[in-house]
Homo-oligomer: A and B are copies of this chain.
Amino acid sequence: MAYQPSTFNAYLNENRDRFLAEFAEFIGQPSVAADGRGMLEMADLVARRFRELGAEVTLSDTNGGPPVVYAEIGPAGAERTLMIYNHYDVQPEDPLDLWETPPFEMVIKDGKIFGRGTSDDKGELLSRIQAVEAWLKTQGELPVRIKWVVEGEEEISSVNLHDWSARHADMLGADGLLWEGAGYDEAGRPNFGLGCKGIAFFELRCQGPSHDLHSSFAPFVTNPAWRLVWALSTLKDQDETITIDGYLDHVAPLTADEWAAIDALPMEFEAMRERWGISGWLTGADDFHARRRYISEPTITISGIHAGYTGEGSKTVLPAEAMVKLDFRLVPDLTPELAQDLLRQHLDRRGFTDISITLLGGEAPAKSPLGSLVERAAVAASQDAWQKTPVMFPWFAGSGPMHSLSTRLGIPGIFAGATWHPNARAHSPNENIYVEDYFRSMQFMGAFLDRFASLPAEVIDSA
């Protein structure tokens, strides 16, 4: 029986209030992976919602971290299997004083839904679940077998997913992988992507005296903050070139097709400059080169640094300890392990053996082939549900654990679907999505299930 969007959409309308009430429950449950708040409660909430669909659900162990909520649903004998990935954890809510509404409370205002996790990633997770409900209630049996992986550590670099997916590789076979969506851009175009950069998130620490000292002792007592500043200054030079010994040798050159795909990407640079209150790009790059750098370049970002007294006014101390958090974005063929090894060797070679390195989370870059079934199904579903052709990124500048579930398992993956808009403030105060985008996400999901089940497996060469 062919997919009937009219009955599907009617069901969404009829259940609009309940769907929003369920979303309020998801937002209202804090699930901050960084400090562990509410993780088990949230996993349980997600599992319960899956069970309401009739799914087989497991809270699957992750070496003691928040569990993976793993759900299977749909005919066991279906011709195709779709893997779906989402996550139920959110970023910390600080700085709290910049929120205009309570972070863990759904507030609807001016057509937007506010609350931590609305855009990243509870809105998409729940709207996809609700879409499956709508399919079951209006279309009958699902057209595919779904294997749904919902992890609880995405915001802390999916520290256990890689190991989890290795341990469960046998059960994870699929014909395609639907990843999180990447939202709409400034022009309202859905942005899809065939992969993403990897990441290695490090914490570096240097220890000085056992407690903060009066700064008059500075002429002869080591200051760990200076040690850290000097070490950092050797990692990247002021023209933004990474200077870790041997690091750039591992960056694979891009093909002409890849450059062409990048150059074709529409990016609203002018709007970004305005929104961020800045007049130009790093190293004075023009928009053309900013785009190329954005997609193609590995980075080292100081995401946080701290030492000593940082309150009001002055306090004349020599700090006991200094700490920096470094976010490395990895392009092929860099890996977290390689980044860690090269960083350690680089620092040791320069005498910084007193600086410790802890890898807080790492993911290798992910890259899927052009023309796969998931890509074609996602493009068609976008046209079906939204009458829009998505912008297709060869890979995204952001990171995710896609590698563990796609590249490594040989399953083509795609970031597709969309709930968030350019001012959704993911990771920031006042995170939000549009109410209508929430329901449009369900419409995309319905069309995607249909297309993924029915499109030919291989591209037919029209030449």
Contact = CB atoms under 8 A, between A and B. Distances in A.
Contacts of A112: none
B428 A313 contact: no
B360 A313 contact: yes
Contacts of A315: 34, 91-92, 155, 303-304, 325, 427
Contacts of A299: 215, 218-219
Interface in A270-308: 275-278, 281-282, 285, 290-291, 293-297, 299, 301-308
Given A221-B276, A282-B219, A305 B308 contact: yes
Contacts of A282: 219-222
Interface string A175-213: 000000000000000000000010101010000111111
A156 interface: yes
Contact of A302 (B297, B307, B312): B307
Contacts of A155: 314-315
B277 A226 contact: no
A199 to B, nearest CB: 7
Copies of this chain held together in the complex: 2
A309 B316 contact: no
Contacts of A399: 216, 316
A217 interface: yes
Contacts of A301: 215, 218, 223, 226, 316, 318
Interface stretch (A99-107, A230-238, A366-374): A230-238
Contact of A214 (B209, B226, B278, B398): B398
Contacts of A233: 229-230, 232-233
A302 B321 CA distance: 11
Interface residues of A, number: 86
Interface in A354-373: 360-361
Instruction: Label chain A's interface by main secondary structure.
Output: mixed
B216 A313 contact: no
Contacts of A218: 299, 301, 327, 329
Interface string A19-39: 000000000000001110000
Nearest to A209: B276
A310 interface: yes
Nearest to A237: B230
Interface of A: 33-35, 91-92, 94, 155-157, 197, 199, 201, 203, 208-223, 225-226, 229-230, 232-233, 236, 238, 275-278, 281-282, 285, 290-291, 293-297, 299, 301-319, 322-323, 325, 327, 329, 351, 360-361, 396-399, 426-428
22 contacts: A33-B313, A94-B311, A197-B216, A201-B316, A212-B427, A213-B276, A218-B329, A219-B297, A220-B281, A220-B285, A220-B290, A221-B278, A222-B281, A225-B304, A229-B229, A302-B319, A303-B309, A303-B318, A304-B308, A305-B305, A305-B322, A309-B325
Which 6 residue pairs are nearest across A and B when measured between Cβ atoms?
A: A233-B233, A210-B277, A225-B302, A304-B308, A209-B276, A220-B290
